[in-house]
Structure 1
C-alpha cells in the first residue's frame, strides 16, 4: 500500500492553508477536509492528536422537518457521538419522506410557512451540535413523482433565507452525479443568498480509475463523468454567488448496475481523491474552495451495505489514514496560485494582476468558465481574487475556441471598467476607459477552425463586471423543419405518466449538424412536460429548458433527417404540452416550432401495469399485454429482439422496487 507523504513541502502547506482558512463553524481554522456520512461511532477513526473540533466532518440526517416538532434526541445521537470524537457536524434536513424517498423542499408555496417553522425548529433543537444545515437532498433528481426544478428549489430556499435566525448557516444543494451541472448554475443564480453549497461526486467510471485525472467516458457529456465531476458543478456557480463547497458524499459508485464500492474499491483510491481536492484548493485564488470531502457511508445503512466503510476494510484503512494526514488540515493563510497553466480549449485561463497595467507577474492564475463560448462575471463591489483588493486590478482571459463554419461573427463584450478583445491577435473591440457597465459589439469574419480569443479587462473602482460571447457564422445558415407527420407523440397521458416520443426533424439549412457543435432539439417556453431517457444524452433543467442531444457519431447534412427519441413525463396536474424547436446552443434557435397538446386524465390508461409510470413497465417481458413500453421496439426493447440489453431495464427495475412494492 502506498505510504502518504506527510506535510513537508510548500505545495502541501499551501493546500493545507487554504482548506484551513475556509472551514466553517466553531473553531474551524484548521479543520480537516476528511469526513464521513452516517458516522458509525468508531472511536478509532479520527486522529486523537488533532485538536478537538478540528478532526474532520460528519454528515447526519433529518429525514423530515416535522420530526423536529417532537423529541429530537434519537436523531441527534450519532451526531453528538461524532462531535464527542472532535468532529464537526453537518445536518441534512429533508422536507419529508414520500414513498421511501426523501423530498428536498416543498414546491407548493402554500406549504412554505409550515415547512419553514419546522425547519427552524430543527436548527434550534440541534444548535448545541452544529450551526451548519443542508436544505434537502438531491432536488435535481426524481422525488416522489417528478424532479424539482432549479427555480422551484431556489424559491423555497429563498423563503428560508429571508427568515434565517442569527448564526444558522444554510447550504444549497446539488447532490447527484451525473446530471447536467446547468441545473446548479440556474439554481445558484436565482438564490437571494447562501452560506455555501453541498454536492456529491463519483466514482470509478469504466477505465477512469484515478480520481486525480479527468474522465470523459461518455462522449455526449461535456462534463466529467467520474470523480472530477465536482469541478464542473462548481464551475456552474455564477461568480457573484460563489461560496464554500462541501462534498458531502463521494465513493467509487457511478450508478445503475455499475459495481458498488464493496466490489470495485481499489487500494489508495480515497487517498488519491483527497490529494486531488488538496491540489484543486491549492490552485484556487477565490471561493469556492472545497472544505469537506465525506465518504458515503460509514455506518451500514439499510439498502446500502455495499457502500459502508464497515464492509470495505481497504477503504476504511485509507479513510483512517487520511484522518491522520496533516496535509488535510492546517492554519497557513491562503496563497493564490501562480502556476503556469496552458490556454485551454474547453474553458478560459484567467491571469490576474494586482494593478491595472498588467505590470509584473500575475498574482493569481486559474482555469474557469467551462463551455463552448464565453463567460459572464459580476463581482459587485468585491474582488475577483483573494490576492487583490476590490479595486485596481486587471484580468487577461484567454482560450482556444472552435468555430464550426467560416463567416461573420458578432462579438459582444460587457465591462465595468475597461475592455479590449482580440481574435488571433487581431483587435476587435477597444474600449479602454473607466465606465459604468457598458456593452460593445463588433462583427468580425472568422474562418472555420480553432482560434485564440483574448479579452483584457481592468477594474478601477466601484462595481466590477466582465462578460464576453459571440454568435453568428455567416458562411452557412441554420434552418430546420419539424416533420409532424413523421413524429410520434401520444394524444393522451395520465398525470405523471412517462411515455416515449419520437420527433423527426429535417435539416433545411446549409450547415451540417453535429453533437460537437452543440446542435440539439430544445424545449420551447410553452413546454410543460419533463424530458428524460435520451439515447444520446440530454438534460432537463426545467420543462422550458430541456435538450435532446445528437449522438457523437452522427452528422446530419443539409437535406437529411434525424429522429430524436426520448421520454416525456406529464405534469401532476394542469395541461400537458410538448413544444420543440432546433437549437445550436450558444449560437441561435432556428427552424420551425411544433407543439403538441396532450390530453391528461386522472386514471392509469394501462391498468394491468403497476404504478402509473411507464419506465416501471420494464419489470415485465417485452410483449406484456397492456404495457406498450415493453412491446418489441418499445422503451425497454428498442430493437425488438426480446432482450433488455439495449433498453433502460435497470432504471425501471429499481424504480419498481422503490415505488411499487
Structure 2
C-alpha cells in the first residue's frame, strides 16, 4: 500500500499546485466526490489525529486514515499531540524526549509519502491548560530542533474557541484561569513564536446556539466580547499580528455547527440547509481579499469514530454539501491567474503614523510595486482596495479620487499608468476610530470586476484615548511604555485622571532631557499649547478638549474636515470627509 500511495502522490516535496481548500477531519470516503479535472494530490485535504507521540494505536489508526485519503487524491495534515489531552510538554526538561518522539512519528507519514504538514498539538489552552508562553516556548524548541526532517511544514495550534485564557494549573491539575479569553491567548502565543510555517485554527457555531443560520453573519450571545459563531476565524486571524507571521498560511482544521455534543441539538439533528456551502463561500470571499491565505477548511468529522452525531455520513444534507465543495473548482486557491497581475508591498516608501489620537484624520501613503506583466491604468480599473482587517475610514483622497462605503469597501484610484516594475504610492486621508487602543490600515491591489491580487499592505497604528490625559502625555507614554509600571510600583495612581501629573513629574524632575527629546521629536506634533473645545466627531462622540492640539484634524458631524488652531476649530476649505 505504501508503494501505491507514493506512486499516486509523487515524491514528497515535489512541486505541485495548491490543493483545493475542501477538507474533512477523519476522511471516511462516503461524502467525497472527486472532480477528476483536479489532479490527484490536489483534490483537497484530510486531517488525522495522533493522540500521543507514544500511542501506537492512534499512530496506526491515523496512518490507515492517511493512506485511504491519499489514495483518493487528497493531501494529509497530521495533528500530533504530546500525550492524550496534552498538547505539548510544559516543562523544558521534557522537550528533548518529546522532540525525538514527534519527529519519529512525523517520519512515518513523511517516509510513506503521506504527509509533510503537521500540527503541534490540539487546542492547547484547554488541553493541558497550557499557557500561551508555555506553548510558544515548546513550539520554538521543536521548530528549531536539529532533528527536524527536511521539507516539513510545521503549524502552530490555535486555541479552543469561546474559552478562557489559562494562567496555569491548580494543584489538582485543573485549569487556573487568568484574565482574558482564547483570543488573548492566541495573540500572546503568536507574538511569542520565533517562527512558524502557518497556523491551524478552529471555528464553530450554529443557529441553534443563538447564532444566525447564515455562517457569514456575526453572532453575539452570552454577552461575550467576541464573535461566538463561524466568523470567529476572522477575529482569530486578526490576533496574529507579529511581523513575519501575519501573512503565514491559515489551515482551518475544524468547523461544525456545534461545539459540544449533547449540549445543543447536534448537527445530525439540526443541520441548517446549505450551511457548509455558505461557510465555504464566506471563506472564498475572505481569500479573494487576502491573497488566498486560508488553505483548508475542514468539517469535523467525516468517518464515524466516536463523534457519531457530528459525522458527515450520518447527516445526509451535510454529506451532499461536502461532496459539492470537493467538486467545486472555486475552492482551488491560486489556480486562476489574472492576466499577469501581481504586486509587492513596499515598506520603505510607505508612510503611516505610529501613534494618533481618537478620530484623528491623517494622510497615509501605501506604496505598491507592480511585479506583474500588466500595466495598471485608471481606465482598466486598477485601484488600491480596503480589505479585511482595515479599521480606519478612508475619508478623502488627495490624488485622483476614490470612494468609501465602509472600512472594508473602499478604493483609492490610480493616477496615470504604472508600468511593470514601477512603484506607486496611494495616498489617503484616513480617519481613526474614536474608541479602542489601536487601528489597522490594510489595503491590497484590485482590478475591479476581475480580482484582488498581490501582497496586502497593512500597518498598525496605536491610538490614544479621550479623557486620559493630553495628547502630548499620551504620546510620551506610548513611546515610554515603562513609565506607568515604574510609577505604579512607586505608589502612584496611574489611572487616566492622573497621567498628566505623572508625565509632568517625569519631564520636570525624573528625566527632563529624555522628555524634551520626545517633545521635540516623536511627539512634536502633539506637544503644543492649542486646545479646542465644543467639538464632536462624525459619529457624535464628544471631542476631549484636553486631548486636542494645534493641527489635530477630525471629521465633524456635518462631514466637513476641521482643524484645531490657536483660534479654535476651523473648517478646512474644500475638504469633506467620511
Common fold by TM > 0.5: yes
Per the alignment, in what secondary structure is the counterpart of residue 470 of structure 2? strand
What's the CA shift for 1:176? 2.0
**Is contact 1:267-1:318 (8 Å) kept?**
no
Match of 1:325 in 2: 328
2:276 is the counterpart of 1:292: no
Match of 1:354 in 2: 368
Count of residues in Structure 1 that have an aligned counterpart in Structure 2: 378
Match of 2:445 in 1: none
Match of 2:154 in 1: 170
CA distance in 2, matches of 1:52, 1:293: 19
Is the helix fraction higher in 1 or 2? 2
Match of 1:116 in 2: 99
TM-score (ref. length: structure 1): 0.51
CA distance in 2, matches of 1:398, 1:251: 38
Match of 1:154 in 2: 136
Q: Structure 1 residues 332 and 412 mapped into 2: Cα distance closer, same or farther (>3 Å)?
A: farther
Matches within 5 A, 1:129-144: 129-143=114-128
CA distance in 2, matches of 1:76, 1:351: 51
CA distance in 1, matches of 2:264, 2:58: 39
**Is contact 2:268-2:309 (8 Å) kept?**
yes
How big is the alpha-carbon RMSD for the aligned residues of Structure 1 and Structure 2? 4.0
Match of 1:88 in 2: 75
Is the strand fraction higher in 1 or 2? 1
2:285 is the counterpart of 1:279: yes
Match of 1:60 in 2: 48
Structure 1 segments unaligned to the other structure (5+ residues): 1-23, 338-343, 372-386, 416-437, 453-471, 476-661
2:197 is the counterpart of 1:195: yes
What's the CA shift for 1:219? 3.7
Matches within 5 A, 1:2-81: 28-42=16-30, 44-67=32-55, 72-81=59-68
Matches within 5 A, 1:641-652: none
Structure 2 segments unaligned to the other structure (5+ residues): 1-11, 164-181, 344-357, 371-376, 393-418, 436-464, 480-520, 548-578
Q: Structure 1 residues 183 and 228 mapped into 2: Cα distance closer, same or farther (>3 Å)?
A: same
CA distance in 1, matches of 2:15, 2:260: 37
Match of 2:265 in 1: 259
What's the CA shift for 1:130? 0.8
Per the alignment, in what secondary structure is the counterpart of residue 115 of structure 2? coil
Among 423, 427, 430, the residue aligned to 1:398: 430
CA distance in 2, matches of 1:218, 1:442: 43
CA distance in 1, matches of 2:31, 2:215: 28
CA distance in 2, matches of 1:66, 1:160: 17
What's the CA shift for 1:355? 6.8
CA distance in 1, matches of 2:301, 2:280: 16
What's the CA shift for 1:182? 1.9
Match of 1:592 in 2: none
**Is contact 1:94-1:103 (8 Å) kept?**
yes
**Is contact 1:402-1:451 (8 Å) kept?**
no
What's the CA shift for 1:82? 0.0
What's the CA shift for 1:259? 2.6
Matches within 5 A, 1:414-433: none
Match of 1:247 in 2: 252
Deviations 1:26-65 (A, max 9, x none): 5542411100001114385333442101111000011111
What's the CA shift for 1:289? 1.0
Q: Structure 1 residues 130 and 208 mapped into 2: Cα distance closer, same or farther (>3 Å)?
A: same
Deviations 1:185-214 (A, max 9, x none): 111111111110000001114142111222
**Is contact 1:246-1:290 (8 Å) kept?**
yes
Q: Structure 1 residues 162 and 44 mapped into 2: Cα distance closer, same or farther (>3 Å)?
A: closer
CA distance in 2, matches of 1:53, 1:323: 13
